[in-house]
Structure 1
Amino acid sequence: MRIAIVAGETSGDLLGAGLIQALRIRFPDALIEGIGGPQMNSKGFNSHYPLETLSVMGLVEVIKHYRQIKHCHHHLHRYFSQQRPQVFIGIDAPDFNLSLEYLLKQQGIPTVHYVSPSVWAWRQYRLRKIARACDLMLTLFPFEAVYYQQHQLPVKFVGHPFADEIPLQTDPIAARQSLNLSPNGTWIALLPGSRYFEVNLLGPVFLQTAQWLLARYPTLQFIAPMANETLFKLFSQQMAAFAPNLPLTLLQGQARPAMAAADMVLTASGTATLEAMLLKRPMVVAYRLAPLTYWLAKRLVHTPYFALPNLLAQEKLVPELLQDQVTVEQLGQAMVHWLEHPQQVTQVQARFTHYHQQLR
Structure 2
Amino acid sequence: MKIFLSAGEPSGDLHAANLIHAIRERVPDAEFTGYGGPKMTEAGATLVYPLVNLAVMWFLSVFQNIATFLWLIVRADRCFRDDKPDAVVLVDYPGLNWWIARRARARGVPVFYFVPPQLWAWAGWRVEKVRKFVDLVLCSLPFEPAWYRERGVSHAVHVGHPYFDELCERDLDEAFTTAQEAHGRPLLAILPGSRTLELKRNLPILARAAAKLAKLRPDVRFAVACLHDKHRALAEEIIADALADAAVDGLPAPDLEIFSNRTPELIRVADVAWSVSGSVSLELMMEALPTVILYKVRPIDLWIARPFIKAKYITLVNLLADAELMPEYLTSRDVSDDLVRHAETWLGDPQARARTTAELAALRYTAARPGATSRAAEEILARLRGPAPEDAAYRGPHARAVSLESIEEADAGA
State the TM-score, normalizing by the size of structure 1: 0.92
Write the letter of the residue equivalent to 2:98: L
Equivalent of 1:359, from 356, 362, 368?
A: 368
Question: For residue 122 of structure 2, what is the aligned residue in structure 1?
Answer: 122
Tell me if structure 2 keeps the 8 A contact 1:5–1:90: yes
Question: For residue 195 of structure 1, what is the aligned residue in structure 2?
Answer: 195
Question: For residue 186 of structure 2, what is the aligned residue in structure 1?
Answer: 186
> Structure 2 vs 1, CA of residues 164 and 348 (structure 1 numbering), >3 Å: closer, same or farther?
farther
- Rounded Cα–Cα distance in structure 1 between residues aligned with 2:194 and 2:177: 22
Instruction: Report the aligned-residue RMSD.
Output: 2.3
- Rounded Cα–Cα distance in structure 2 between residues aligned with 1:175 and 1:350: 25
Tell me if structure 1 keeps the 8 A contact 2:13–2:52: no
- Rounded Cα–Cα distance in structure 2 between residues aligned with 1:304 and 1:214: 33
- Rounded Cα–Cα distance in structure 2 between residues aligned with 1:354 and 1:116: 26
Question: For residue 247 of structure 2, what is the aligned residue in structure 1?
Answer: none
**Higher RCO (C-alpha under 8 Å, 6+ residues apart):** 2
What does 1:13-32 align with in structure 2 at a 5 Å threshold? Answer: 13-32=13-32
What does 1:150-299 align with in structure 2 at a 5 Å threshold? Answer: 150-153=150-153, 154-166=155-167, 177-178=176-177, 180-183=179-182, 184-243=184-243, 245-299=253-307
Question: For residue 77 of structure 1, what is the aligned residue in structure 2?
Answer: 77
- Rounded Cα–Cα distance in structure 1 between residues aligned with 2:262 and 2:84: 36
**CA drift at 1:263:** 1.4
Question: For residue 382 of structure 2, what is the aligned residue in structure 1?
Answer: none
- Rounded Cα–Cα distance in structure 2 between residues aligned with 1:354 and 1:182: 25
Give SS of 2:303's match.
Answer: helix
What does 1:42-121 align with in structure 2 at a 5 Å threshold? Answer: 42-121=42-121
- Rounded Cα–Cα distance in structure 2 between residues aligned with 1:133 and 1:40: 24
Write the letter of the residue equivalent to 1:123: A
Write the letter of the residue equivalent to 2:56: V
Question: For residue 312 of structure 1, what is the aligned residue in structure 2?
Answer: 320
Give SS of 2:320's match.
Answer: helix
Larger mean CA deviation between 156-165 and 205-214 belongs to: 156-165
> Structure 2 vs 1, CA of residues 66 and 229 (structure 1 numbering), >3 Å: closer, same or farther?
farther
Question: For residue 5 of structure 1, what is the aligned residue in structure 2?
Answer: 5
- Residue by residue over 1:215-257, the C-alpha shift from the partner in whole angstroms, topping out at 9 and shown as x without a partner, is 2111211211212333211101123223375322322223222
Question: For residue 340 of structure 1, what is the aligned residue in structure 2?
Answer: 348
- Rounded Cα–Cα distance in structure 2 between residues aligned with 1:104 and 1:128: 16
- Rounded Cα–Cα distance in structure 1 between residues aligned with 2:334 and 2:346: 17
Larger mean CA deviation between 234-243 and 194-203 belongs to: 234-243
**CA drift at 1:82:** 1.3
- Residue by residue over 1:101-125, the C-alpha shift from the partner in whole angstroms, topping out at 9 and shown as x without a partner, is 1221222111101122222122211
- Rounded Cα–Cα distance in structure 2 between residues aligned with 1:100 and 1:359: 31
Write the letter of the residue equivalent to 1:343: Q
- Residue by residue over 1:82-105, the C-alpha shift from the partner in whole angstroms, topping out at 9 and shown as x without a partner, is 111111000001211122112212
**CA drift at 1:177:** 3.5
Tell me if structure 2 keeps the 8 A contact 1:175–1:258: no
Structure number, greater radius of gyration: 2
- Rounded Cα–Cα distance in structure 2 between residues aligned with 1:94 and 1:225: 26
Which aligned segments of 4 or more residues in structure 1 are displaced greater than 4 angstroms?
none
Aligned residues, how many? 358
Give SS of 2:47's match.
Answer: strand
State the TM-score, normalizing by the size of structure 2: 0.81
**CA drift at 1:278:** 1.6
Write the letter of the residue equivalent to 2:318: N
**CA drift at 1:80:** 2.5
Tell me if structure 1 keeps the 8 A contact 2:138–2:158: yes
Tell me if structure 2 keeps the 8 A contact 1:189–1:258: yes
Tell me if structure 1 keeps the 8 A contact 2:299–2:332: no
Tell me if structure 1 keeps the 8 A contact 2:163–2:279: no
**CA drift at 1:126:** 0.8
**CA drift at 1:195:** 0.8
**CA drift at 1:321:** 1.3
- Rounded Cα–Cα distance in structure 1 between residues aligned with 2:343 and 2:114: 34
Give SS of 2:44's match.
Answer: coil
- Rounded Cα–Cα distance in structure 2 between residues aligned with 1:229 and 1:64: 25
**CA drift at 1:178:** 4.0
> Structure 2 vs 1, CA of residues 346 and 146 (structure 1 numbering), >3 Å: closer, same or farther?
farther
> Structure 2 vs 1, CA of residues 356 and 55 (structure 1 numbering), >3 Å: closer, same or farther?
same
**CA drift at 1:151:** 2.8
**CA drift at 1:52:** 3.3
Larger mean CA deviation between 323-332 and 132-141 belongs to: 323-332
